[in-house]
Structure 1
Amino acid sequence: MIASYRVVRLAFLAALAAILAGCASSPAPQRVEPAMPRYTSPITPQQVVGKWGLAAYHRPEDAARTEAQARQGCRQPYVINAGPSGGFMMYLADDSQPSEVVSKQVGTGPIYIGLPNEPPGAQSDREVVRFDGQVLVLKWLDPEVAGRYGTMVYVRCP
């Protein structure tokens, strides 16, 4: 009886040691993806949905003249519609169909307009140079696209 008591006791101690050893081992390190910064959307779809005259310039000294040309563009306006997921519909570079975009800003940094699933300042984004509700000036971030399309000036049509 004493021998069986010792066997049970030793088995219990061995099991307890195994359990404690399992608890003491650290789990394999897991790779943690850096969190994307949360951005706000300072320009709402309601502020940009509508008809706009559109023109573009490549040299900053042409900005005022280009704004006047954009006003004349209201004869054949560029239409920005509301998007199905809360953004607004605009054409991306070289796309024949509009895509849903949003305005994006991290903290007090620059405001961008681009695809909602990309971080602010992505290569396909446009930086908001100016927006006052009546005039929207956007600069492409991709230098190659900016070289072809220039800085876009949108003027709200009456």
Structure 2
Amino acid sequence: MNASHRVVRLALAAAAAAVVAGCATQQAAPPAPARPQFTSPISAQQVVGKWGLAAYHRQEDATRTEAQARQGCRQPYVINAGPSGGFMMYLADDAQASEVVSKQVGTGPTFIGLPDEPAGAKSDREVLRFDGQIMVLKWMDPEVAGRYGTMVYVRCP
């Protein structure tokens, strides 16, 4: 076998190796879908704890409802830390707590909801007030809001 045949064989072997390597990279798993891009202005540490809970349907009942929520500390609503950095709360009509996060896009309103849904999703709650001691949340789904009202959470001592 002469030198030119060896060069051709080596070139063919190198080309075949490149094709096989190219096929291997094309069979890699597709990338995971992108998560929504939002900030989380309220951390899980700020929300985890025991809360008194009450709700109102009319704005004029907000002050009275806050006082009722303080009385709810006798049987508090407990918010635990979630396994992935969020916090555990109940979604509407769900008997099992789900991990939620606070989310905001730009300077828009803050919401609490599932981390893989966009801010303001139908299952979210809009944060109307949060100061670490009082949290007021309004359901985004009008039908759910009509049943549950605006939720007032007051941190228990």
Q: Bin the TM-score by the shorter chain.
A: 0.7 to 0.9
The change in CA–CA distance for 1:54 and 1:121 in structure 2 (over 3 A counts) is same
1:3-152 equivalence runs, <5 A: 38-152=37-151
1:27 counterpart residue number: none
1:26 counterpart residue number: none
Equivalent-residue separation in structure 1 for 2:106 and 2:50 (angstroms): 30
Higher Cα radius of gyration? 1
Instruction: Give the letter for the 2:59 counterpart.
Output: P
Aligned-pair identity (%):
85
Instruction: Give the letter for the 2:126 counterpart.
Output: E
Equivalent-residue separation in structure 1 for 2:94 and 2:105 (angstroms): 27
Cα-to-partner distance string for 1:99-154 (whole Å, 9 max, x where unaligned): 00000000110000000000000000000000000000000000000000000000
Structure 2: any 5+ residue segments left out of the alignment?
Answer: 1-33
Name the Cα RMSD after superposition. Answer: 1.0
Give 1:37 shift. 5.6
How many matched pairs?
A: 124
Equivalent-residue separation in structure 1 for 2:143 and 2:36 (angstroms): 27
User: TM-score of the superposition, structure 2-length normalised?
Assistant: 0.77
Equivalent-residue separation in structure 1 for 2:107 and 2:82 (angstroms): 25
Cα-to-partner distance string for 1:58-115 (whole Å, 9 max, x where unaligned): 0000000000000000000000000000000000000000000000000110000000
CA contact (8 A) 1:127 1:140 kept: yes
Equivalent-residue separation in structure 2 for 1:55 and 1:88 (angstroms): 20
Equivalent-residue separation in structure 2 for 1:44 and 1:36 (angstroms): 18
Aligned structure 1 segments of 4 or more residues deviating by more than 3 angstroms: none
Equivalent-residue separation in structure 2 for 1:48 and 1:123 (angstroms): 21
CA contact (8 A) 1:88 1:101 kept: yes
